[in-house]
Amino acid sequence: MPRLREDAGRSTVNRVMKQLDAWVARHGNGKYERGDWVPMQDFMIPDDAGIQQDRDEIKEFVSLLLSRKRLGTALEVGLGYYGSTHFLWRLLFKRIITIEKSHERIRIFGTNMRAFHDRWALGDRRSAFIIGMSYEPATVAKTYQVACGGVDLLFIDGDHQYASVLTDWLLYSPLVKPGGLIAFHDVGLTVPGHYGVPEFLARLAAGAIDGRKRTLTTIRRTKHLGVACYEQ
Ligand SMILES: C[S@@+](CC[C@H](N)C(=O)[O-])C[C@H]1O[C@@H](n2cnc3c(N)ncnc32)[C@H](O)[C@@H]1O
């Protein structure tokens, strides 16, 4: 029986990944991010990967999510170039809320979704987009209005500076229901003054943020990417 359940779980993960692969193949350079680049400086632009995630890492995270009881609402900070994680959460959760500062990226995501599904898939009202900086009062108020019943996943993948991750965590982790997951992307990205996810997570695990130690699960197959999460 457990073996049967394991096989069923594996086939669901593969089904989800097949749909994600099809989406990624049609956007940007058509590839997953590899996470082994030299971190950029401000005057550079990166190659526009179809998703800003490593395939093995996100597959492992999908498998972890599918092992959980409740996949009601996901809240994400950061849509990215092609909204590919929002697309992924739609395959797993009933409702998805994304906070994104770029109206243009949200608009293009709608167009791309219509082209992919051959219909206005967003008409199902499962997706909500909150336009603005995650730390702006209007954004916070709107998010709390839309997510008022609480969320089962918070995925922080916006601006990866230490202060920004701290701010997003302070503002939105209270929305996560007991037993829900709080996850962070780019857990390997360290460039002093630019990216501070590793520093934030080290402090969080040590209880040096709010006096409570969190036990983190880390999925890391690349040098600079990786996902870490803990249960609320
Ligand atoms: C790394 S990308 C997200 C990648 C996406 N989750 C994926 O895997 O394909 C970060 C996104 O967050 C947005 N962003 C950065 N800081 C933000 C903030 N404080 N509030 C809202 N959006 C932000 C950027 O415009 C960008 O679209």
CA distances from 27 to 49, 50, 61, 116, 187 (A): 8, 5, 21, 10, 24
| CA of residue 101 to ligand 1 center, whole Å | 7
Single-letter residue type at 221: R
Which residue has the CA at smallest separation from atom 3 of ligand 1?
80
pLDDT 10s digits, 12-35? 999 999 999 999 999 999 999 987
Give pLDDT, residue 10.
86
Higher pLDDT, residue 10 or 77: 77
Single-letter residue type at 214: R
Give pLDDT, residue 7.
72
If you average pLDDT over residues 130-158, what whole number do you get? Answer: 97
| Res. 1: pLDDT tops 60 | no
Give pLDDT, residue 40.
65
CB 225, CB 186: distance < 8 Å: yes
- Half-sphere exposure in the Cβ direction for 155 (13 Å, CA): 28
Report the nearest atom of ligand 1 relative to the CA of 155.
6
Higher pLDDT, residue 36 or 229: 229
| CA of residue 40 to ligand 1 center, whole Å | 16
| Res. 37: pLDDT tops 70 | no
CB 188, CB 223: distance < 8 Å: yes
Give pLDDT, residue 169.
98
* Ligand 1 first shell, C-beta below 6 A: 51-53, 77-80, 84-85, 99-102, 105, 133-135, 157-159, 164
| CA of residue 5 to ligand 1 center, whole Å | 36
| CA of residue 160 to ligand 1 center, whole Å | 9
Q: Say if pTM beats, i.e. exceeds, 0.75.
A: yes
| Res. 98: pLDDT tops 60 | yes
3-state secondary structure of 179: strand
Report the nearest atom of ligand 1 relative to the CA of 102.
25
pLDDT 10s digits, 157-202? 999 899 999 999 999 999 999 999 999 999 987 776 678 999 999 9
Structural domain total, the chain: 1
| CA of residue 11 to ligand 1 center, whole Å | 30
If you average pLDDT over residues 61-85, what whole number do you get? Answer: 96
Which CATH number belongs to the domain containing residue 217 in this structure? 3.40.50.150
Buried b (16+ CB within 10 A) or exposed e, 154-185: bbbbbbbbbebbbbbbebbbebbeeebbbbbb
If you average pLDDT over residues 65-83, what whole number do you get? Answer: 95
What residues make up the domain containing 22?
2-38+46-231
Give pLDDT, residue 41.
67
Distance in angstroms (rounded) separating the CA atoms of residues 196 and 173: 18
Higher pLDDT, residue 222 or 216: 216
207: left (phi over 0), alpha (psi -120 to 50) or beta: left
Which residue has the CA at smallest separation from atom 8 of ligand 1?
52
